Amino acid sequence: MTTVLNRILPLNLLTELVIDCGRFSLKKVMELIQSAPSLHTLKLSSIPLFKDTRETIQQSELFQVVSATNKVQHVIYSEVCKLEDLKLLVALFPRAKQLTINNYAQDLQTNVWFLLDKQNEHTRHLCSLRFTSASKIWIKRLDRLLRSQLLIRNYTLKMFNRQLYLSW
């Protein structure tokens, strides 16, 4: 597939990629990323695993190579992001500085805790989060969480158009 695409569009020049197809497997996404060394922004609607499990994907040679070499700094994930998806995303894109996710309210604390954990080596470059479809109460919950757990010290929280932005 990447050979055919490369004939149409030079993948080495690709800087942004939007994959809005639920039938596009994570393995195919990784193959594309491997062939696009200049890619810095990636938007995914979902990460279908099909026959594979998260564990087998993460242990695969392709995952290891793509994780070690890709330069993606901005990841946008449209589907509701559960902790398992988040773990996979940050392991695959450890140089991400900005992450946009759709989140259930009940998962907000768990996901933020995971992302801001100082022990998490995959998120050390992360400096900005955007939560889509957020409600106004989220800003208070998130502020309270950040203050009580001292996850980060200097941060900014803003709400605009049902989008909650956290930067530090």
Please give the pLDDT value at position 21: 85
pLDDT, residue 7, reads 61
How are beta strands 74-80 and 156-160 bridged, if at all?
Answer: unpaired
Q: What is the pLDDT of residue 6?
A: 57
Contact 42, 66 (CB under 8 A): no
pTM score above 0.75: yes
* Domain 2-167 indexed as CATH 3.40.1350: no
Radius of gyration of the chain (CA): 16
pLDDT tens, position by position, 18-36: 999 878 899 999 999 999 9
Strand, coil or helix: what is 132?
Answer: strand
Q: Domain boundaries in the chain?
A: 2-167
Q: What is the pLDDT of residue 111?
A: 96
Give the per-residue pLDDT at 9: 75
**H or E, element range at 80:** strand 74-80
Q: How far apart are CA 157 and CA 84, in angstroms?
A: 25
Low-confidence ranges of the chain (pLDDT < 50): none
For residues 24 and 42, give the distance between their C-alpha atoms in angstroms, rounded to a whole number.
Answer: 14
Q: Which residues pair with 129 in a beta bridge?
A: 99, 166
Query: Assign residue 133 a region: left if phi > 0, alpha if psi is -120 to 50, beta otherwise?
Result: left
